[in-house]
Every structure is written in structure tokens, then in C-alpha cells.
Amino acid sequence: MNTQSNMYKMWLQYREMPNKINKETYGEIAVIGNSPIQESIKEELTRAFEQMYQWTPVFTENLNAQIVIAINDKLNDLLSKNHKDQVEHLLDEGYIIASENNQVIITGKSSVALLYGVFHFLKDLQIGKDIHTLNITNQPKNSLRMINQWDNLDGTIERGYSGNSIFYENGKIVKDKSRIKDYARYLASVGINAIAINNVNVWEEETFFITKKYLPEIKEIAQIFTSYGLKTYISINFASPIAIGGLHTADPMDEQVKEWWKKCVKEIYDYIPNFGGFLVKADSEHRPGPFTYNRDHKDGANMLAEALAPFGGKVIWRCFVYNCVQDWRDRSTDRARAAYDHFKPLDGLFHENVILQIKNGPMDFQVREPVSPLLGAMHQTNQMVEFQIAQEYTGQQIDLCYLIPQWKDVLSFDTYVKGEGSTIEKIVAGQIHPYRYSGIAAVSNIGNDENWTGNTLAQANLYGYGRLIWDPSLEAEEIACEWIALTFDSSKEIKNTVSSMLMDSLSIYENYTAPLGVGWMVTPHYHYGPNIDGYEYSRWGTYHFADRNGIGVDRTQATGTSYTSQYNEPNASIYEQLDTCPDELILFFHHVPYDYVLHSGKTIIQHIYDTHFLGYKQVEQLIKKWAMLENVIDVDTFRNVEERLQLQRANAKEWRDQINTYFYRKSGIPDQQKRTIY
């Protein structure tokens, strides 16, 4: 794409700067080294300086240049002793940006550290920081920072809300990979270092991705990502030995199966020497896995891990495993229990290059869930948390929903697995258990729409994800304001308006959708819009278990599914008891009467009425706020968001009317404020 719109360029706008950097002084930039990453650095600096300052830098290896970008052992004595000491304590991806002796020096221990440092440097220039006073030391808190694409070879994206795939179309890998390169730039600019390039649900033709039928083109994709510091992973079909290998079995304990995978892996590494490994969804939602052969997850994961280990590859094994045709007559089949029940007994039995990828909640990316009790529960097994940037249950990038506050809550949750302070943030950073590998993954929200994310404001979730997992100490509003300044400009009017819209959006969405943690009131399969009784475990009940007397799921040890027992104390007791369970999760853990009084002082039924009326009004306020920016936001972006907000208003109205009508008729209890309920 030669002419890129503002929406296409996301947060790498590189707008013309009023304060020029002098070409005579800074026209030469020393970039020491010629690896693919160093070449990416030169390309990015050229793009940025031409757009921001209207001159093209000249690259040199002269260390006397005013801007020097080099691995620390190439700098000779340019750095002060203090900065030299700081570099020694950096991880491989950490960097220093220092203004010393009239030079700007960007350094670290690796080429990718330099790349991250350059993107940080360009970010600071865009938001107006003085080039002469930079003094930055930065490194990631999480070692594995991953994106999962749910793209299919036919060009569709499972849970894709921003057009079709940028990787595939009409059953083929795209020939023009320029947009993939731009995507790599955006991901690298926020510190993402790994990507799985296809859907975890691997069907028919995609099974061949691990063969020479597709590896030459996948190699091209991997080379693009490598030049921006990302390792490429492939999602696999566990039954590949049968589907494409000519074997009669995929039993992970079968010697022929083991040998088949070893040959397959060797061929992949022949094409892609720095291949990351496999992402696996097995024995869930009708996907094949080791259960077929009376084996367990460790058997399946370890077999693949043994094939990958000689090459340094990893197996990322998803823990989204449950019986999708379960029946509530058996209390032990509570879907919320499934991941813990399957994996906790296997702790310590997985190979060291296996990482368990665990959804942040025990169900499926609902707007409000407790944190999965499996996170941190396995002391001897590598773990990473899985988020969903794609707004599957949170508005599908039609409705505005800024997700960073939700993820902040998850990361700050204290599991007490090793006493107070055992937060998810520390667990996935490898600070609580001696994990060799750990980190965070998320389902991507991009497609081939001009603005990448359908709703331009949904770009904040992709940007925010990268920034948050690099540094979880960043506040949600701080990230939002940073994204706004880079995407639009630093004007107070835009910052205040858009940041307030983003920061309010999650609670607004929750207000007019499923209340108090109950979830699953959405249209089945599509997951947008209300369908209160749409999801059923069986003929015995829906996910919310509403009847004429009350609502909610009893997950207590005393009378329910005993899900609360999967938590450590004091969390188990807090969730077990009605008087200590947080209001926002009460219907996830308890079945209560409609007149039960919450800590807020409202009854359950009145809370439902009030929040759904309020949520609709709040969407109307979002529309009014956005309208105030019509003359200060570019026309395409303004119209895109305006159209989405109008659709959100219709959605909020439908939720308000259906939820309130349903529960008024179910309970027979009128609204205390006597508002119209049909």
C-alpha cells in the first residue's frame, strides 16, 4: 500500500513535527551491524525522519555521529561508567537510550534490543520529548510476549471483526506480503516477540502447513517477522500423522508417530532455522488429541516437545479443554472446573520446553469472570496466561471496549499460591515458580480492513496489550493517553475526550450486558447481541440458571460444584461465602434470590434494571463526546467511530430491553423507579 491513510498507520503516524531536528547536526546516523534487524532499524528511521522532519538520514558506521545505535560491545568508550554498569544488568531485550556528550546513544546486548530502543526513541520524538535530555533504561518484564492469529487459509478469521486475513486468501498464502511486514512493524514497536500465524482450530488443508507444500512461503513470512524480532509458531493438527502422514494412528506413545514428528520438525527447521515451535489445541471442542488413545495431555505435549527440543523449539499447549456436551446432572462437569481438573494432577510431568497456555478466566473471555485458579497452581510446569484482544464477547470491535483495565485486574490478582503477593503478574514473569519459560499470549484483533481493527479506537487494545505485557506496572489510563498522543496528537481536547471514552467503556459495556459475573447471555456461536437462554449445558439448565426464584450458578463446596475449592485461601473462603463474595462475581459463584441485597445496598433485580438503563444512557454520552471532536479528528476516522457508536447504541438498547423484560417477567418484581419495562 503506497498511500497509507491515518487509520492504516495506527500509532506509527510520524506526523510532521513543528520542532525540527537539524539535518546538519543529526543527518548522519551510525547503525553498527548489518543483520536483518539492523536493516529494519534503518528502514524505520528513514521512514520516520522523512515524514517528521522532511529529510533522509545517511547511515554510517562512524561512532562520532550524533546518533549512534550499536550493541554495547561495539561502542568502545562512548558510554559513561554508570550506563556501562546498567547495560551489564540488562536482559538480552533490554536497552538504554542516553544523551551523552552531545550524542544520542541507543544500545543493548542484542540487535532486537536496539530495535526496541529505536521504536522507543521514535515514540519519544513523536510526543515531543527533547532529544538532548533522553536518559532511559528499559527492559521487558515478561520473556514471551505473543500474538495468536486465528486466521484460516480460506481468508476468513475465526472471531475476526476487522475484515479478512492479511496472511491468506482463497485457499492460498498471499503473494504480496507488504502488509504482513507493516504488521510486523506495529507488533515490534510495542515489544511483541512471538506470533502463531494460523488458527488453533486446524482443519484439513491447514494441516499441510508443516510440510514442504507450504513451508517455502511460510519461510518468507517467518523471515519478515525475524527481521522485526518475532519468532514464528505454527498451530498444528494433533492428528497430522493420520491426516497427512499415512499412518493409521496419532498415538503419542507409538514409535512410528514419534519418528514421524521428528522428521517433520527437522524439515521445518531446514526451512526456518529460528522457528519458534507449535501451538496446540487438543481434546477440546472436537479437536483430536491424546485422549483418543487413552493418553493424557503430558503424553501428547511431551512427544512433540521431544521432537522440537534438539532445535530449541517449544510446545505451547492450550488448557482450554472441557467436555462441550457435558450434563449438569453430574456436579463434577462444571465447565469452570475443567482446566484445573485436567492439568493440575500432571504438574511436574511435562518436559521443560512445554508451556501451558491458560485463558485468563475459567470459562471463555466473558466480560466478567474470576481469574483461572490453574494460573500459578502448577509449581513445576511452565505457564503463560492467554488474553483475547479480539472482542469476541466484548462488542466485536463494534462496541467500544478498552480491555487494558480488565487485564490489569487479572495481572494484579493475588493467588496466594506461595503466600501473599503471589500475583498473576509475578507468576507469568517467572518470579514465583522456577519456570524456564513463561509469559503472556493474546488472540489478535486485526484483519485487512483499512484501519486494521474495524473500529479505529480498537487499535488501543492492540497497542495497550503490547505495552502492558512489556511493563505491567503501566496504568491503563497512561497507556491510553500514550496511544492517543501517537495516533492523533497531544492536544488536550482530544486526549481528555478520547481517554475518558476509553476508560469508561469496559464498565459501560458490562452495565448493559450480562450482570454480576453470570455471563453467557449472548447469541450462540456469533456472540454478539443478547440471547438470554441461548446457551444451555443440557436440558437441565442454562449457564445462568435463572428461574422464578433467583439466578446464578452454585459453585460452592457446600452445595454446588465445589469449584471454589480450586482456589487457595483466603480466596476459596471469600468466594464460598455470600457475605464476602464480591458483588461483581456473585452470580458466577452463587444462586441467589432476586431480592438478595448486594454490598451496594441494591437488590439483585434492581441492580439488573439500573445498570441496563444506565448502560444505554452512557452509550448516548459516548456519542455526544465523540461528536465534539468532529472538527479536530480526520474525517475518515471520525466517521468510522461515529458509525460504530451508532451501532453500539442499537446493541445497548436491545440488551437493555431484552434483559429487563426477561427478568421482570421471570421474577415478577417491578422496577423501583417505575421505568417502562415491556
DSSP 272-331: -TT--EEEE--SSTT---GGGGT--HHHHHHHHHHHHGGGT-EEEEE-----TT--TTSG
CA angle in degrees (0–180, nearest 5) for 662-665-668: 135
Question: Which residues face 530 on adjacent strands?
Answer: 522
Q: Single out the residue of 585, 601, 591 nearest to residue 672, CA to CA.
A: 601
Q: Single out the residue of 517, 504, 487 nearest to residue 598, CA to CA.
A: 517
CA dihedral 639, 391, 467, 69 (to 10 degrees): -70
Please tell me what DSSP assigns to residue 586: H
Residue 365: phi and psi, rounded to 5, are 55, 35
Catalytic residue among 392, 425, 510, 554: 392
Residues in the chain: 678
d(CA 511, CA 499): 19
Catalytic residue among 217, 364, 471, 654: 364
C-beta atoms surrounding 74 within 10 Å: 15
- What's the 3-state SS for 186-234? HHHHCCCCEEECCCCCCCHHHHHHHCCCCHHHHHHHHHHHHCCCCEEEE
**Residue 384 contacts residue 428 (beta carbons within 8 Å):** yes
392 is catalytic: yes
88 is catalytic: no
d(CA 3, CA 178): 13
CA distances 166 to 78, 223, 631, Å, are 43, 16, 32
Q: What's the sign of the alpha-carbon dihedral 270, 273, 275, 277? A: positive
475 is catalytic: no
DSSP 79-126: S-HHHHHHHHT--TT-EEEEEETTEEEEEESSHHHHHHHHHHHHHHHH
d(CA 83, CA 79): 6
Residue 617: phi and psi, rounded to 5, are -65, -35
Catalytic residue among 43, 85, 285, 643: 285
Give the active site residues.
Answer: 285, 364, 392
